[in-house]
Amino acid sequence: MRHLRKRTTPLLLALGLVGSLTAAMPATADQPIDRPARGPDAAAIERIVDRIDEPAIPDRDYEITDFGAVGDGATDALPAIKAAIEKASADGGGRVVLPEGTWLSEGPVHLASNIDLHVSDGATLLFGTDTDDYLPVVRTRWEGTELDGYSPLIYAKDVHDVAITGSGTIDGNEDSEFHAWKAKEKPDQLRLRQMGFDGVPVEERVFGKGTFLRPSAIQFFGAERVLLEDYTVTNSPFWINHLVYTDEATVRGLNVDSHRANNDGIDVDSSTNVLIEENRFRTGDDSVVVKSGRDLDGRTIARPSENVVIRRNDMGGEDGIALGSEMSGGIKGVYFTDNVLRDGASAIRFKGNLDRGGTVEKIRVSNMEVGSFETFIWFQLDYPGELGGDYPPVYRDIVFSDITVASAKTGLDIHGPADAPLSDVTLRNVTIDEVETPMVLENVEGLRFDDVRFGDQHIDGKLDWVS
């Protein structure tokens, strides 16, 4: 086997620009990030990592060329890929190998248990451009709401011991018809959100031909023991690597280089025991996001994301790391450590609105080097409920420690709901070398500063600011 203080308006503090401190700049792109976790959270991190088993897959190969595939980039290789997966599955599992070449897939690749889809060095799995080829619909989750929709390019449902490996490339195709759907999707997006908010049975949420909700590049929907390792992904239609209802997943060594709309690098969605390490993210949206469902649909399913470790990654996206805004099922026990964030809009972003509900707690962000961002830490938890809900999200017990930031226009930008203020947030040994506006605060309790430096300002103590 392969084992694989009370105010009615926001507090705005502008304390000065450039201080005398020098923040460490992020490592260069080719410099390895290899530092052990430090501090009191190290043991908790290792306990999570130790409980994650990689998939056990039989040590036998099934080359798609043996099933008639031609790697010329023009001949449809999907029938051969399907045949290889079916044969390997019938034999009890194995590695389905795409050798060097460009392998066109005119439709989605659906994985099965005990299968490793191996995209070899020099191989490209190129997906076809015709959106009709990604029907019939499959059960999926789109922005936190379940539905029957277009198949992700690579999809696996109710599986165990599954992997995608190899140093080749998975290419959603720059000419895909899906890319034009961003401009068309709003009516379907709003209709799906209303269905989830109203509790319409999922069987009635069918978004097939004539609708415009883009699928993820890779999605696991109900899985145990998953390994995603070494490949490059580009030209994703929507979210890139999407783990839904997945337990025990390892995501290691990926090169995610996809810059289209909503191209999150990886979305951990109602999943537990997840390790994300040593990846390179260059994305059109967040690098790493943790989620757990939207509104009533997410609260009813009630599957949290829990026990997630994100370490030693090189991140460069619109936002670096994010929790929410789809977090109605709850998030608990997430550890970001020893990561580098390059530059962008928000280095760390927590999102929610008054339709969501859900509790996010025990979040640790530590030992991180950050470049230049518009905002260093942004809590936007009070978006008005779009659908008339009154379920303020709860964010609490969050610690940021041992972080250096080169520059930020705004250091902390915090907006909590009046009925559920952000509470119990600690910044410890955090330095921003250059900052224009250190803090904008609205509805926060128990905000603690321990050896924090924003420009030339040294901050210690505790602050409450509640309207």
Each domain of the chain, given as residue ranges in start order, spans: 18-51+339-467, 53-280
Task: For residue range 140-198, list pLDDT tens digits in order.
Answer: 999 999 999 999 999 999 999 999 999 999 999 999 999 999 999 999 999 999 999 99
Name the band, by pLDDT with cuts 50, 70 and 90, for residue 10: low
**Who contacts 303 (Cβ-Cβ below 8 Å, separation ≥6)?**
245, 270, 292, 293, 329
Class of domain 18-51+339-467: mainly beta
Whole-angstrom Cα distance, residue 359 to residue 292?
A: 10
The pLDDT score that the predictor gives to residue 386 is 75
Is the predicted pLDDT of residue 75 greater than 90, yes or no? yes
Task: For residue range 86-125, list pLDDT tens digits in order.
Answer: 999 999 999 999 999 999 999 999 999 999 999 999 999 9
The pLDDT score that the predictor gives to residue 420 is 85
Q: What is the mean pLDDT of residues 274-294?
A: 97
Name the band, by pLDDT with cuts 50, 70 and 90, for residue 13: low
**Who contacts 47 (Cβ-Cβ below 8 Å, separation ≥6)?**
none
- Identical fold at 18-51+339-467 and 53-280? yes
Task: For residue range 378-406, list pLDDT tens digits in order.
Answer: 999 876 667 877 888 889 999 999 999 99
Q: Which residue has the tokens 């019939």?
A: 136
Whole-angstrom Cα distance, residue 179 to residue 260?
A: 8
Is the predicted pLDDT of residue 31 greater than 60, yes or no? no
Cα–chain center distance at 262: 11
Provide the token pair at 421. 């203020």
Task: For residue range 309-362, list pLDDT tens digits in order.
Answer: 999 999 997 889 999 999 999 999 999 999 999 999 999 999 888 889 999 999
Is the predicted pLDDT of residue 369 greater than 80, yes or no? yes
Topology of domain 53-280, per CATH?
Pectate Lyase C-like (2.160.20)
- pLDDT more than 90, % of the chain: 84
* Residues 272 and 48 sit within 8 Å (Cβ to Cβ): no
- pLDDT more than 70, % of the chain: 91
What is the full DSSP assignment across 68-102?
A: T---EEEEE-HHHHHHHHHHHHHTT-EEEEE-SEE
The pLDDT score that the predictor gives to residue 317 is 77
* Residues 310 and 325 sit within 8 Å (Cβ to Cβ): no
Name the band, by pLDDT with cuts 50, 70 and 90, for residue 37: low
Least confident of 33-47, 274-288, 342-356: 33-47
Cα–chain center distance at 327: 12
Torsion of CA 330, 333, 337, 342, to 10 degrees: 0
C-alpha distances in Å from residue 46, one per residue of 127, 224, 306 = 38, 20, 15
